[in-house]
Structure 1
Amino acid sequence: MKNWFKVNSAHLIVIALFIVLVFFYFTPVWQGKTLAQSDVVQAQAGQKELFDYKAKDGKAPMWTNSMFGGMPTYQIWQANENNIGTYMLKAVKFVFPSPMDTVLFYLLGAYFLFSVLRIKPWLAAVGAVAIAFTSYNFIYIEAGHITRANAIAFIPPVIAAVIMCYRGSRLWGPVLLALFLSLEIRVNHLQTTYYLLMALMVYVIFTLVDAIKQKQLKKFFIASGRQVIAVIIALMVNASILLPTWEYSKLSTRGHANITKVDNNNTKEKGLDKEYAYEWSQGVGETMTFMIPNAYGGASGGQLDEKSHVAKFFMEKGGASAVQAGQMAQGMPTYWGDKRFTSGPWYFGAGIFFLFILGLVIVKNRLKWWILTTTVLALLLSFGKNFTLVSDLFFDYFPMYNKFRAVESILVLVSITVPLMAIMTVNELLTRAKEIPNLDKKVLYTFVGIGGVCLLIGLLPDLFLNFRNAGHNNLIESFTQQIGDKSFATEMVNQLVLDRKDIASKDAYRSFVIVLLTFGAVWFYLKRKVSEGALLGTLLVLFLFDLWSVDKRFLNDKSFMEKGATAQQVFQQREVDQLILMDKDPSYRVLDLTTDPFSDARPSYYHKSLGGYHAAKLMRFQEILENQFNGALNEDVLDMFNVRYLITTDPQNQSQRIVRRSTAAGNAWFVDKINFVKGNAEEMQAISSFDPRKEAFVNQQYQNEIKAKTSSSATTGEIKLTSYHPDKMQYEYTATNDAFAVFSEVFYDKGWKAYVDGKEIPIIRADYLLRALQLPSGTHKVEFIFDPESHKMGNLLTLISSIILGLGIVAAAYFSLGETKKETAA
């Protein structure tokens, strides 16, 4: 044991250093505070109903009526109690609460990758810091994209495990690949996992080419076979997530459109709408932020203070005080790129970027070409609408690529490959500097190129940057409408442009200094003026200072609040909420028009909302939004969804008020007439104007399941909800004849089953998105139960595979221990 500590002492010291870094960055967490994350707030609101029932029943329901009229809860939260990864993640979180655990995963995962690449521990520590503290890793945390952040953290160890496999590791390589990939999938951000698989595909291609050259195809295929087994195990460990998600995705906005749309190529659209998917595309010029963080103005707002040009303008021309001017300046849009808004830039570190470019010249490692190819491919795809040649090719033809939005997100790969190349560059300098021809010139020329660009932007920002985007005139018009004076608005925006220049210039000078210091450290090492230890220590401090200070612009102590304060402030019960909640009927719905109802889940905290917030709504619901709520609300559709209350804003005094809708159809009703329609488009058109309580529109595909006499005969009777549970609803009815009942519940045939007096009957889709039943005459009980087979099968596969993975880890540890004992005895 003493020998083990001695051999691994450097690793243990590095891990201790990482813990210290995490501790100091997140001191508010240790003080009992929590992050006020916008996406977390949205998630908490959407999850409120399921957690209320979880507290009551001991388990969470699998369906919620709190958003979009109803959706599966495994799309917003899932326990995954059979998944071995769940307990591993909980163990870390128990010691290091969120977001400490995420940043620790960043550091440890990257360190493991560098260690597998046989980088010395202290240089590996520098590399881990370079990867972990990339700006968007912290911007994602601040915004509440914790699942995405955790998925990014597991990218490096998965890559490392693949490298181990191809190097010949027969046991630990496949076991660690299964473990890390299962954790990557478990944190449940499939878009990030998809990008990881793209990078690995490129790596495998390069490895295959190398195997052909080295005539080692047999070794390649054996290693690949082991990895296939590991990947299958990782997938099966997460079957409880993947199977229901795959099933849901085909019916969501990530799947096929139900109403045919035709694009420029006259083909039916699949997946997301291209314009929607490309909405957040990286500007080609914005790649400047890789080495100058605020070259494009940084975050959309909050960059200016009372010393800015805009604030001074407000004081001089508007008569505002310094405090007022500073507050108004903070809201000005300093970001001038092509995206609607941004939380911050993709910054990889000026010194790191300098070493990356140098590495393209001097690194001989065969990984260099994989890194370069992955970087270029990810960069081109991130441009989206700004460079459609490559993006459209992938969007139209590459499997599943069109399921994901915000294409700039693929830059997470670049945020790993750039530091990876930078550290490989330093490793080249440490191990083979004497073998590199004209090294001094290559280092000097790279510095002149990168440092020169930074210096020129600092001195002459207008030479490279415009500081105005395509919407510049629209910005002036918007301010003109608010202020009523175009000349005032024009001058104000001109002052904003000056502030944008100052912001870019200041950061350009900053980046130049970082590049200069990095160059100086390398130069003095090459001239034997400083030791290897001094070089690594300098780089560690320099990179940490550089990235840490930029990260603190977006995620700092002000981002934290006292525990409970977030819920008290964001979810504070309004008077309108209190009045609505006096209605104890469990089935009515609410539409809050004081916010963007279909992009905000906060109303779901207290109500069964027709609105909500989720990245993948049901496609049919989205199509109703596009066709029935585009520009105006279709009152008939509100009726069929049983929207009893609207929350609106009084235009006179901006107070919130309630509109009670007496025409809401209720939770269930009998219709007098069934109209059969030929297709989805006709069905959508039909519900544009109708009385949902008297007639229903049904696709002719269900015609054989409905008795002919029921389709045109009035029914005398009553149906009412007698017991409400999100995934189990009970009704009682009396009908004089066979009847057709429509329920104000979302149709989802991947788990919902209906029973009349305990006997299952088919569920029919009516009015495009509602459930309906053909019911026999008399007095009966109706029951809806949501119990998807995909969930049950997924849980079983997860349990079996988790046991297999656990046994694999134990076996790998046992055999490794045996080999260690043999080596010690020898």
Structure 2
Amino acid sequence: KIRTIALFAALTLAFQPAIIAFSAFGHNTKLSTVLLIPLIFLLAEEVLERRRMLHFALLALAVGLQMLKAHTQMSYYTFMFTGLFAIYWVIDSMRKKRPVSGIFKSLGVLAAALLIGIAMSSWLYLSVQEYAHYSIRGGGGLDYNYASSWSFSPLETLTFFVPSFVGFGGQTYWGHMPFTSFPMYMGIIPLFFAGLALVIRRDRTVWFLGLTAVLALLISYGKEFSLFYDLLFRYLPYFNKFRVPSMILILVQFSVAVLAALSLHSLWQMSGQSISAEMRKRIKLYVYIFSGIAGLIFLYLLAAKSSVIGHIAASGKVADPRVQEQSYRMAMNDAVLMIIFTAISIVLLLARLNQKIKASSFVYAVIAVTVLNLWLTDFKIIDPKPKTSRENFFRADDVVKFLKSDKTQYRILPVFDNRPANWYAYHFIQSATGYHAAKLKIYQEMLEETGFPRNFLLKYLKPVTQNGRRTMAFRAPAEIDAKQRRLHQNVLRMLNVKYIITPYAFSDSGYKPVFRGSKNIFQNLAVLPRAFFVDEVKKVSSKEAVFASLQSVDFDPARQAMIYKDPPFRASAASGNRATLTTWGNRHLKFDLAAQNAGFLVISEIFYPAGWHAELDGKEVEIYQTNHILRGVFVPAGRHVLTLTFHPKRFYIGFWITAVLFVVCLAMVVVAYRKQKKSDPGREIKNLN
């Protein structure tokens, strides 16, 4: 019985469209982190109730392994979930008049297990914590608008019933989020039976999971329900480090899966005689309410087509009338399926209540229709591709072949490229842009100041009206913003950006067209090498001063550099100095230097002080933050070998903490398990009193 119910819960959670989407869209760390939530919940309850060594060690291992999956936000939500359960458990224990000392002991054991689990992730998170200080996630947290931009909305709650109510994602989506690729649908059958659990099984677990689902839903609304979200954003530690409020809906999906399973468990145990008249009355009322909500949604979509399409058009996200019609048809089709599966759920429920079907047959039937219900949504998300299709996607095209023919060190700037932001990395071509969820703050500041990559091309364009239609046309040279052009040119020069990749042609004396194929390639005629000496070093006090100089006609990055500290000596003319890059890697750089005069070497690699060390002829020298985003080293006259090595101390400290704690917890599991085998099945292994 229990295994069959567990199978239902597992399949319901595994076939959640969000879970399927994590796999389909490459969110593998998110997927593997989420899959440990049920185990952590189970072990946390066992630790609070029994305080056994086995559960304590397993919980610490589960938490540590989850955090090592490297999706901090999902782990944070797991801690919120566990903390909420601990509070709920304390209230319930006090209501049952349990000894206060026992309650505090249980909380202490739980806290110790969580802390050991967190410490076990030191291998990863000591470095992450260090990096966070320098990233856009550090300091005071994320900007509110950025953090809340993927807020779920009350309107989209209707996708719990009709997955395509606001479009299915992609070009058909017209909801409040900037965009999405899939709906937050959980299956109408699991939703029906989850709600039923609140009617027929009102125990501690059911009420807790119901409370969790409601709170997680309110949090997911983000700025759409700002009163609740803002309190957490301002006052809950680390909450403001995360974006995409809708991500917390995973707790709703987990709660629904478990609640539905608990509902089936209760129905399995019921017999005709055990169902009171009062219970039948409550179930009847619930069925009327649920089917009434489903019916109203169906009738609205059926009778108000023009209104729905009007809302789709008013959203401004779906301009094409054909796509608006498609979005409506998808919603209508899903509404029909909602009615069918709701009817099936009610028929199965009534059959079980009236003993027309065996308990086991009832549960197996619910499992079958639930998988069908979810799969009809899942298959729209999964887009399996044959191996040849994947190879074609990453196939080296004419642009890649041209770029790889240049064997020098350089970067590119793709502008209005229709491929994913990190596509060129597959071919080991270095780019000045790309996607990272937690960019270095100094680099993000540069991107915001320059508007790269879009503004590189947009500065050459202006809006015009042709034949009554608004379009874009190229500006005359005199119309181009001179300061913005100098800023772009100077930043691209010092970033070693040699090629601009764009589907559009543009005219600028600083760039020469060198290739025309599937894309246009323009060469930056004034690109600087990966390392170069300058004539003059100037101390500045702020990033604003740096960006102001980068726009000035008096600044030339080939001759001048800016740092935030006092220079140890004055740099001399760099005309006779040379720097040759002999070794390049992610963690190791080596240069042969020939300096006729003492000077300052600018290295076109992004400044990151946590772990990078520079040695000149084997003696450590300081790396200076240069031009806000780059590195620089003062070099005395003569021939030298400069090496830059990434050797972060926190990483190695974290490794040993993780290794030791993992071995200790694993040993505790082995010892506790052996004692359990020797003792009676009902005897406690060891109480951590």
Give the corresponding residue for 2:362: 535
Letter in 1 for 2:562: F
TM-score by length of 2: 0.87
The equivalences for 1:86-125 within 5 A come to: 120-125=2-7
Residues in 2 aligned to 1:197 and 1:350: alpha-carbon distance in whole angstroms: 28
Q: CA deviation at 1:432?
A: 6.3
One-letter amino acid matched to 1:456: L
Aligned counterparts of 1:506 and 1:248: Cα–Cα separation in 2: 48
Matched, 1:636 2:490: yes
Counterparts of 1:549-568 in structure 2, within 5 Å, are: 549-555=376-382, 558-562=383-387, 565-566=389-390, 568=391
Aligned counterpart, 2:193 = 355
1:591-624 C-alpha deviation (Å, 9 max, x unpaired): 2225169933435523111122221111111110
CA distance in 2, matches of 1:674, 1:229: 53
The one-letter code sitting in structure 1 at the alignment partner of 2:496 is N
Matches of residues 29-48 of structure 1 in structure 2 within 5 Å?
Answer: none
Matched, 1:571 2:394: yes
Establish whether residue 593 from structure 1 lines up as the match of residue 415 from structure 2: yes
Does the CA-based 8 Å contact 2:58-2:665 persist in structure 1?
A: no
Q: Which residue of 2 aligns with 1:795?
A: 655
Change (3 A) 1:725 1:140: closer
1:61-86 per-residue CA deviation (whole Å, 9 max, x = no partner) reads xxxxxxxxxxxxxxxxxxxxxxxxxx
CA–CA distance in structure 1, aligned partners of residues 325 and 595 of structure 2? 74
1:467 and 2:321 aligned: no
Is the contact between residue 161 and residue 177 of structure 1 (CA under 8 Å) also seen in structure 2? yes
Aligned to 1:709: 570
Which residue is 2:529 aligned to? Answer: 666
| Structure 1 residues 341-361: Cα deviation after superposition (integer angstroms, max 9, x where no partner) | 222211112122122222223
AA in 1 matched with 2:529: G
Of 686, 694, 705, 2:549 maps to: 686
1:339 paired residue number? 177
* Partner of residue 502, structure 1: 329
CA deviation after TM superposition for structure 1 residue 411, in Å: 0.3
The verdict on how the C-alpha distance between 1:387 and 1:436 changes in structure 2, with shifts beyond 3 A counting, is farther
Which of 152, 155, 172 is equivalent to 2:37? 155
Give the conservation status (yes or no) of the 8 Å contact 2:268–2:360.
no
In structure 2, the residue matched to 1:197 is 79
Q: Is the 8 A contact 1:589 1:643 kept in 2?
A: yes
Find the aligned partners of 2:619 and 2:330 in 1 and give their Cα distance. 70
3-state secondary structure, aligned to 2:570: helix
Residue in structure 1 matched with residue 406 of structure 2 by the alignment: 583
Aligned to 2:511: none
Give the aligned residue type for 2:375: W
Q: Report if the CA contact (8 A) 1:592-1:603 is conserved.
A: no
Tell me which amino acid in the other structure corresponds to 1:668.
Answer: A
Q: 1:411 is matched with which residue?
A: 249
Q: What is the deviation of 1:649?
A: 2.2
C-alpha contact 1:604 1:612 (8 A) present in aligned 2: no
Q: Which amino acid aligns with 1:721?
A: L
1:511 partner SS:
helix
Which residue of the partner structure matches residue 819 of structure 1? 679
- Work out whether residues 12 and 371 of structure 2, in 8 Å CA contact, stay in contact via their aligned partners in 1: yes
The 3-state SS of whatever aligns with 1:709 is coil
> Are 2:36 and 1:142 aligned?
no
Task: Indicate if the aligned counterparts of 1:755 and 1:761 stay in contact, CA closer than 8 A.
Answer: yes
Q: CA deviation at 1:468?
A: 5.0
Distance of aligned partners of 1:474 and 1:204 in 2 relative to their CA distance in 1, 3 Å threshold: closer
- Give yes or no for the alignment of 1:290 onto 2:128: no
Aligned equivalents of 1:822, 1:134: Cα separation in 2 = 36
The match for 2:54 is: 172
Change (3 A) 1:737 1:817: same
Partner residue of 1:440? 280
Residue type of the partner of 2:540? V
Report the Cα offset of residue 744 of structure 1.
Answer: 0.6
Counterpart contact for 1:648–1:657, Cα < 8 Å = yes
- Count residues in correspondence: 636
**What pairs with 1:612-627 in structure 2 (closer than 5 Å)?**
612-627=434-449
Aligned partner of residue 669 in structure 1, secondary structure: strand
SS at match of 2:590: strand
Determine the C-alpha separation between the residues in 1 that align with 2:48 and 2:276.
Answer: 28
How far the C-alpha of 1:337 sits from its partner, in A, is: 1.4
Deviation of 1:231 after TM superposition, in Å, equals: 2.2
Mark the CA change 1:658 to 1:496 in structure 2 (over 3 Å): closer, same or farther: closer
Q: Of 202, 213, 233, which residue of structure 1 is paired with 2:116?
A: 233
State the TM-score, normalized to the length of structure 1: 0.73
Tell me which residue corresponds to 1:483: none
Partner of 1:377: helix, strand, or coil? Answer: helix
Is the 2:534–2:574 Cα contact (8 Å) retained in structure 1?
A: yes
Residues 336, 467 of structure 1: 8 Å contact kept: no
**Inter-partner Cα distance in structure 1 for 2:180 and 2:416:** 24
Q: Does 1:518 align with 2:388?
A: no
Report the CA distance shift for 1:686/1:464 in structure 2 as closer, same or farther (over 3 A): farther
Gapped runs of 5+ residues in structure 2? 457-487, 507-515, 684-689
Q: What's the % identity of the aligned pairs?
A: 27
User: Could you tell me how far apart the structure 2 residues matched to 1:502 and 1:647 are?
Assistant: 40
1:464 and 1:534, CA in 2 relative to 1: closer, same or farther beyond 3 A? farther
The AA in structure 2 aligned to 1:695 is: Q
Q: How many angstroms apart in 1 are the aligned matches of 2:17 and 2:224? A: 23
How many Å separate the matches in 2 of 1:441 and 1:193? 41
8 A Cα contact 2:18 2:184, kept in partner: yes
Could you tell me how far apart the structure 2 residues matched to 1:189 and 1:736 are?
A: 50
Please list the CA deviations of residues 12-35 of structure 1 after superposition, one character each: whole Å capped at 9, or x if unmatched: xxxxxxxxxxxxxxxxxxxxxxxx
| Deviation (angstroms), 1:412 | 0.4
Per the alignment, residue 544 of structure 1 pairs with 371
Q: How does 1:444-463 map to 2 (within 5 A)?
A: 444-461=284-301
CA distance in 2 between counterparts of 1:497 and 1:730 reads 57
Q: Distance in 1 between matches of 2:368 and 2:407?
A: 61
Is contact 2:580–2:591 with CA below 8 Å preserved after alignment?
yes
Contact 2:220 2:249 in 1 (8 A): yes
Q: Quote the offset at 1:768 in angstroms.
A: 0.4
Matching residue within 187, 202, 223 for 2:106: 223
Partner amino acid, structure 2, of 1:600: N
Cα distance in 2 between the residues matched to 1:717 and 1:471: 63
Q: State the 1:811 CA deviation.
A: 1.3
Contact kept, 8 Å, 2:302 with 2:332, in 1: the verdict is no
Q: What is the CA RMSD across the aligned residues, in angstroms? A: 2.6
CA distance in 1, matches of 2:178, 2:114: 38
Inter-CA distance 522–552: structure 2 relative to 1 (3 Å threshold): same
Which residue of structure 2 aligns with residue 242 of structure 1? 125
Match of 1:384 in 2: 222
- Cα pair distance change 1:339/1:398, threshold 3 Å: same
Tell me the amino acid that sits aligned with residue 361 of structure 2: A
